[in-house]
Amino acid sequence: MFSELSRQLRPALIVFLALTLVTGVVYPLVVTAIAWTLFPTAAGGSLIVQEGVVRGSRLVGQPFDDLRYFWGRPSATGPFAYNASVSSGSNLGPTNPALIDAVQQRAADLRSAHPGRGTIPVDLVTASASGLDPHISPAAAQYQIERVAAARQLPAEQVRRLVEEQTEPETFGLLGEPRVNVLLLNLKLDELSAGTAVGQAAGEPANP
């Protein structure tokens, strides 16, 4: 048996090295090269760069708690919400008292910030899987319109139109859920308030 094994050692080593070269070096480099040729912005993380400043990634959520902005979902990342270097969910179980307490606290905070609004959309009181969810549901955006409009002294109708513009439907009317990207919506809001359009979002220079 040991002589049989020793005869397999050379093939094991060489085949391993060869497949490592193909799948561990050539393959990722080829994917990178094609990605940066065809989709440079996406390959670089879909960064939003305005006037040389990275404002964020259009795919990664940011924390918002100012009354003038739409708020995203609760985030479980540490040590601060939406820390995109340590993605994490809450991992609280469905009967964990800590989950129920957190949901009740969030609901109370939302109610006091939005007096007179009815049912709170469930995505505003539950933590996302990644802690980086860039989206809220259209219901959650509509829930906040009056508060944001009042804080910015804008007509609610104008903010509502912006929310509708920023609402993405299900893909092909079939996949996923309708949603609103909170960071993009808030950047648009700032443009609206400033009254001047800020430079177009652009990708980072191609440099893999």
Partner 1 sequence: MTAQGVLELTVYVVVLLAAAWPLGRYMARVYSESFVPPGWLALPERGIYRLAGVDPSAEMSWRMYALAMLAFNVLGLAVVYVLQRTQHLLPLNPEGLGPVSPDSSLNTAISFASNTNWQGYGGETTMSYLTQMLGLGVQNFVSAATGMAILVALVRGLKRTESGTIGNFWVDLTRSTLYILLPLSLILAIALVSQGVVQTFSPHAVATLTDPTTDVDGQSIAEQPIALGPAASQVAIKQLGTNGGGFFNVNSAHPLENPTPLSNFLECLAILLIPAALCFAFGHLVGDIWQGIALLAAMLLIFLPCLAFCYWAEAAGNPAVVAAMDSVEAISVAPATGNMEGKEVRFGIASSALWATATTAASNGSVNSMHDSYTPLGGLVPIWLMQLGEVVFGGVGSGLYGLLAFALITVFVAGLMVGRTPEYLGKKIEAFEMKMASLVILIPPALVLVGTAIAVTVPPGRAAISNPGAHGLSEVLYAFSSAGNNNGSAFAGLGANTPFYNLLLGVAMFVARYWLAIPILAIAGSLAAKKCVPTTSGTLPTHTPLFVVLLAGIVVLVGALTFLPALALGPIVEHLQMVSG
Please report, as residue ranges, which positions from 128 to 187 form the binding site for partner 1 (by CB under 8 A): 128-139, 142, 170-171, 173-179, 183, 186-187
Which one of residues 30, 150, 151, 156 is an interface residue with partner 1 (CB under 8 A)? Answer: 30
CB of 206 to partner 1, least distance (A): 10
Q: Distance between the two ends of the chain, CA-based, in angstroms?
A: 49
> Does 22 help bind partner 1 (rule: CB under 8 A)?
yes
> Does 196 help bind partner 1 (rule: CB under 8 A)?
no
> Does 114 help bind partner 1 (rule: CB under 8 A)?
no
CB closer to partner 1, 54 vs 156: 54
List beta partners, residue 48: 56
- Residue found under tokens 């959309």: 121
How far, in Å, CA of 204 to CA of 199, rounded?
14
Sign of the four-CA dihedral 189, 193, 195, 199: negative
Q: Which of 70, 75, 89, 80 has the alpha carbon at shortest distance from 181?
A: 70
Angle between helices 156-166 and 138-152 (to 10 degrees): 140
CB closer to partner 1, 147 vs 179: 179
> Does 113 help bind partner 1 (rule: CB under 8 A)?
no
Judged by CB under 8 A, the chain residues 46 through 85 that form the site for partner 1 are 46-48, 53-66, 69, 73, 78-85
Residue 121's contacts (CB-CB under 8 Å, 6 or more residues apart) are 136, 137, 139, 140, 143
Q: Which stretch binds partner 1 (CB under 8 A): 95-103, 150-158, 194-202?
A: 95-103
Q: Which stretch binds partner 1 (CB under 8 A): 86-94, 146-154, 156-164, 195-203?
A: 86-94
Helix, strand, or coil (residue 179): strand
> Does 197 help bind partner 1 (rule: CB under 8 A)?
no
